[in-house]
Amino acid sequence: MNRKILALAFAAGALAALGQAPFSLWPATLLGLAVLAFLHHRSTTARRAAWSGWFGGLGYFVVSLNWIIEPFLVDAASTGWMAPFALVGLAGGLALFWALAAYLARRSGAGLWRWALLMGLAGLARSYLFTGFPWALPGYAWTETPVAQSVAWIGPHGLNTLTMVFAAALATAALLFQTSASARRRAALMLAAPLAGIALLWGFGLQRLAQPLPEATGVTVRLLQPNAAQEQKWDPDYMPVFFNRLLDFTAAPALDGAPRPDLIIWPETSVPAYLEFPGETLNRVEAAAAGVPVVLGIQRYDEGRAYNSMAVLGGNQDGSADGSNGSIADTGSIGINASPVTDVYDKAHLVPFGEYLPFPELLARIGLSAFTAQKGYGFTPGPGPRLLDLGAAGKVMPLICYEAIFPQDLRGTERPDWILQITNDAWFGNGAGPLQHVAQAKMRAIEQGLPFLRAANTGVSTVIDARGQSLVALPLNTQGWVDATLPGALPVTLYSRTGDMPLTALLLLLALISLRWRRQKTVDA
């Protein structure tokens, strides 16, 4: 295999990654993918196409997921040496999806539209297989543009596949320009097609953004951000500092004489105690809140199992205890006696090697247990998606950190009034990781047509409206709190009704038709 071609594929993938936050350069994504499509067409065998696809994916994921080294640098003296291996290993593994797509596309023919469709399927596959990892989909390059509004209809994978189609059309135009003069006229039409498609989506997005939003709910929510660096978060000397900081933010009067908030939200694992053995921590939170309900992140321990949880102090603001949607009306059922806790959600979609280890005893011997919040064994997953009833604040879909990257996890319950994510993005460092996490939250808001609120330990804590626009925010690496009115929800979107099944079925059908057509053409020849 020509090393220059592989180097070019790697560079093209790296260029395509610049569409992800913090750069958000969507033209770079289109250009990089178009170069990869061009190289795919030039590959003379399926094996060479696979290598080109793998190196392109390697370049893409090395750049877009560079933040993955940050957890290894929290205790750099012990685990820093693993960082480059983790980055290259993860990037190389994810690049296999691109390699397989390129291989199958080349085996079924030279048409670049097959490459685009199979690359779309590759994005779907990595979002579901092996617990899934849909981070940094190329389609997220459109997050900060009006084009992102299309995910309310076609979802993130529909936009991702369209991005591949646009790139394939650009590559086809470049190939036609290299042939005869008559072909160049076709090339001009081919070049105009993706530009027209982008313009159409852009115009549609602008029109949707120009429509009036539904009336705000009138509920005021306070988001807290203590700014606890990961290397200090569980340090006994610093834990009281961050906890007292959150108490001060909770008790702070509203600005400009405004009334106290109706709901206060703490970030993930922000309480330095187990839920079942809280000591005075929960009583202090309740005292600081002075009657205002609080949602907070806390770990809990039950029958030898640890859980990463979201607890509600004060519960239903009308005083009722509703057990619908799996709510825990009797807190004694989880071993809490005389507690202000009225409901608990346990994180269901855990981070592999971050919150649980598949072979804990074996991996602990080489030091990997250091990356789980519970050394050696990690957390136990909760039963799955459900709603929390917050009374006057409505019914909320709870998400803890990593769960916000999975659009499929926001389905399977009745429609909530809004979405809440508590998270600790300190693990991701100060660069691309936290900003990419926020970008995905914006996509979830658009997909569902629901406001999305996130309270993050080190940022970005923000209120996102139902069209994915951030209304107020606390930036990275700052401490503080912000009060904001909870935005209203839009009508149910098409994507929230259908999910990814229609697109998956369509792409599989087109792939099968393509393969059958290729075989029939070979027989006829």
Q: Which residues pair with 421 in a beta bridge?
A: 399, 454
Q: How far apart are CA 69 and CA 64, in angstroms?
A: 12
Take residue 401 and report the two structure tokens written for it: 């950190």
Q: How far apart are CA 470 and CA 454, in angstroms?
A: 11
Please say whether the beta carbons of 147 and 198 come within 8 A: yes
Instruction: Of 60, 72, 68, give the one whose Cα is nearest residue 98.
Output: 60
Q: How far apart are CA 50 and CA 59, in angstroms?
A: 14
Q: Which residues pair with 347 in a beta bridge?
A: none
Encode 297-352 in three state secondary structure. EEEEEECCEEEEEEEEECCCCCCCCCCHHHCCCCHHHHCCCCCCEEEEEECCCCCE
In sequence order, the 6+-apart residues with CB closer than 8 A to the CB of 334 are 275, 276, 300, 302, 328, 344
Q: How far is CA 135 from the centre of its chain?
A: 6
Residues identified as active-site: 268, 347, 401
Place of tokens 């009006």: 146
Q: How far apart are CA 34 and CA 163, in angstroms?
A: 10
Residue 366 CB neighbours (<10 A): 8
* CB neighbour burial string for 167-197, b if at least 16 within 10 angstroms, e if fewer: bbbbbbbbbbeeeeeeeeeebeebbeebeee
Please say whether the beta carbons of 484 and 463 come within 8 A: yes
Determine if the peptide bond prior to 460 is cis (ω within 30°): yes
DSSP string, 94-133: HHHHHHHHHHHHHHT-S-HHHHHHHHHHHHHHHHHGGG--
Angle at 120 between CA 118 and CA 121, to 5 degrees: 65
Please say whether the beta carbons of 102 and 47 come within 8 A: no
Assign residue 165 a region (left: φ > 0; alpha: ψ between -120 and 50; beta: otherwise): alpha
Angle at 433 between CA 432 and CA 435, to 5 degrees: 65
